[in-house]
């Protein structure tokens, strides 16, 4: 008995000595791990980059509707060649020609989104140099005001002005949703490691307890108070506990590496995870969750955008019916002269108006077919979106029921864990005094381990359901407010 007591003391003291020999492990909580994942993981950087990309696309779209100032020109356009020149008598003479033409223009334009047209103000200047005759001439338009306006055509500018704000709003909501997806994945990796650590702790305690029981059993066997079969069964339990500890240690290393890589943590020092036992007090209400999901999720913007896009394709098919007409009109000043100042001293008026059109006389029903396809596609989009809305609402309601069910189950599994641990201690002490069999002890041990794992698993499933519900609704159940970030306009 003295030897057994010493060995038991050594096994109990060994974990303490190992802890003293190792550096202090960093202790992480679930919220801390989620915050790290949302700030520094590779997925978080991808989400931020995608959001910035959407922002600059939005800026580019808005810039299309602002006044545009452009400068164009040709400096120089030099030519030296021999070209035919018609003489006064009608004959041709090939003359050497050496000249240069330089031109420049500046234009200020503004689109008209309600009509799809464009107004512009431009100023043009051209210089001609004849090097053979040593002549320089200027030609220019000091100021021209013009209008370009398609008639009865599809107005892409007006439709884009209705669709693109929804696309940008969708991208902002998607950013929040992707952050919550990161929280869901981080939660899964967190509990993978936590369960591995719990399994390792269980295996280590079982090994120490079984070894202690085996040492005691050896003494009893020598005294003839224990059968050989029970002794061998205890020895087998020690060997199995040793194998379980080795496997649990391997599983812990694998889970640790997965979580560390996902969070982008440097490989420096061990860390342990806290058991997140403080669950939210608030339950979820299906009607509130569905209403918040419709308001906060990107699907609300996505559905409206897709309906508008389908409607715009119908309008495009109707506008591109083969009949095309446009108006081009300008009014301005023009002049020419031997010097640059001559252009601005006595300019003449210049006007130009052009109305062009084209229309098919026979297309064999081609335009009608295009319009019918667009119309049917619009109906298909409407039906698809109706079905997606139904599926989305059903997913939210299902997740609410899952969240509430798992939340109520936590209390039961926690109580079962406490009872199973206490029952095992009673069974162990009872076995030591010889009042129960090894089979009953093993049953108590198995139930203790199962209850502990069931409790951790129920916590894992609850927190997974919690963050999945947040992702589906973008609504904070605890704070009773939408989850969001500042939208950059």
Let me know whether 190 and 136 are in one domain: no
Note the maximum CA span of the chain: 144
Instruction: Determine the average pLDDT of the residues in 365-375.
Output: 88
Let me know whether 303 and 418 are in one domain: yes
> Residue 43 domain-assigned?
yes
- Show Cβ contacts of residue 7 under 8 Å, excluding neighbours closer than 6 positions: 211, 212, 215
Q: What is the pTM of this model?
A: 0.80
The DSSP symbol for 348 reads: E
> Residue 276 domain-assigned?
yes
Q: Please give the structure tokens belonging to residue 336.
A: 């020419």
- Do residues 146 and 330 touch, judged by C-beta distance below 8 A? yes
Give the integer Cα–Cα distance in Å for 112 and 108.
Answer: 13
Mean pLDDT across the chain, nearest whole number? 86
How does DSSP assign 275-299, residue by residue? ------S----HHHHHHHHHHHSHH
> Residue 52 domain-assigned?
yes
Let me know whether 179 and 286 are in one domain: yes
Let me know whether 180 and 293 are in one domain: yes
84 pLDDT above the threshold of 70: yes
Let me know whether 388 and 477 are in one domain: yes
Let me know whether 431 and 459 are in one domain: yes
**Measured between alpha carbons, how far is residue 224 from residues 217, 238, 431 in Å?**
10, 21, 16
304 pLDDT above the threshold of 70: yes
> Residue 63 domain-assigned?
no
> Residue 225 domain-assigned?
no
15 pLDDT above the threshold of 50: no
Q: Please give the structure tokens belonging to residue 11.
A: 């096994």
> Residue 247 domain-assigned?
no
Let me know whether 192 and 272 are in one domain: yes
Let me know whether 423 and 282 are in one domain: yes
Classified as helix, coil or strand, 112 is: strand
Let me know whether 195 and 331 are in one domain: no
> Residue 437 domain-assigned?
yes
Q: Please give the structure tokens belonging to residue 285.
A: 């209400």
358 or 304, greater pLDDT = 304
20 pLDDT above the threshold of 70: no
Let me know whether 405 and 455 are in one domain: yes
244 pLDDT above the threshold of 90: no
13 pLDDT above the threshold of 80: no
Residue 139, domain extent: 68-112+115-154+324-358
- Residue 147's nearest CA partner among 352, 358, 356 is 352
Number of domains comprising the chain:
2
The DSSP symbol for 50 reads: H
* Interval 185-238: pLDDT, tens: 999 999 999 999 999 988 898 888 888 888 887 887 887 777 888 888 888 888
183 or 88, greater pLDDT = 183
> Residue 163 domain-assigned?
no
CATH code of the domain covering residue 292: 1.20.1600
Let me know whether 271 and 406 are in one domain: yes
Let me know whether 270 and 419 are in one domain: yes
């Amino acid at each position: 008995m003295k030897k057994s007591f010493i060995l038991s003391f050594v096994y109990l003291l060994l974990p303490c000595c190992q802890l003293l020999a190792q550096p202090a492990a960093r202790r992480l909580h679930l919220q801390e791990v989620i915050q790290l994942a949302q700030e520094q993981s590779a997925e978080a950087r991808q989400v931020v980059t995608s959001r910035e990309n959407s922002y600059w696309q939005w800026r580019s779209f808005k810039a299309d509707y602002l006044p545009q100032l452009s400068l164009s020109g040709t400096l120089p356009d030099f030519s030296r060649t021999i070209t035919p020149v018609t003489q006064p008598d009608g004959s041709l003479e090939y003359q050497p020609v050496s000249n240069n033409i330089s031109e420049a223009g500046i234009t200020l334009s503004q689109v008209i989104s309600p009509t799809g047209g464009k107004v512009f103000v431009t100023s043009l200047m051209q210089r001609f140099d004849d090097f053979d005759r040593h002549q320089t001439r200027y030609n220019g338009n000091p100021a021209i005001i013009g209008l370009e306006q398609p008639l009865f055509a599809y107005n892409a500018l007006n439709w884009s002005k209705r669709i693109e704000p929804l696309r940008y709003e969708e991208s902002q909501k998607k950013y929040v949703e992707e952050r919550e997806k990161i929280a869901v994945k981080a939660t899964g990796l967190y509990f993978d490691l936590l369960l591995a650590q719990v399994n390792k702790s269980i295996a280590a305690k079982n090994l120490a307890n079984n070894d202690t029981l085996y040492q005691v059993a050896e003494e009893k066997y020598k005294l003839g108070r224990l059968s050989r079969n029970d002794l061998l069964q205890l020895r087998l339990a020690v060997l199995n506990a040793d194998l379980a500890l080795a496997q649990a240690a391997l599983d812990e290393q694998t889970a640790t590496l997965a979580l560390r890589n996902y969070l982008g943590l440097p490989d420096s020092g061990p860390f342990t995870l806290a058991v997140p036992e403080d669950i939210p007090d608030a339950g979820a209400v299906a009607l509130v969750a569905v209403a918040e999901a419709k308001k906060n999720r990107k699907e609300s913007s996505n559905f409206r955008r897709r309906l508008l896009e389908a409607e715009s394709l119908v309008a495009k098919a109707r506008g591109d019916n083969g009949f095309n007409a446009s108006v081009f009109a300008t009014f301005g000043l023009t002049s020419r002269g031997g010097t640059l100042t001559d252009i601005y001293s006595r300019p003449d008026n210049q006007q130009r108006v052009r109305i062009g059109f084209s229309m098919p006389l026979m297309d064999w029903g081609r335009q009608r077919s295009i319009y019918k396809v667009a119309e049917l596609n619009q109906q298909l989009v409407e039906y698809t979106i109706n079905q997606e809305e139904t599926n989305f609402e059903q997913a939210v309601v299902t997740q609410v029921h899952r969240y509430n069910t798992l939340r109520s189950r936590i209390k039961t599994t926690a109580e079962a864990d406490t009872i199973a641990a206490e029952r095992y201690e009673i069974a162990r002490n009872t076995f030591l005094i010889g009042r129960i069999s090894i089979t009953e002890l093993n049953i108590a041990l198995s139930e203790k381990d199962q209850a502990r794992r069931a409790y951790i698993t129920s916590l894992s499933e609850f927190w997974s359901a919690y963050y999945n519900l947040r992702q589906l609704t973008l609504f904070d159940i605890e704070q009773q407010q939408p989850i969001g970030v500042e939208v950059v306009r």
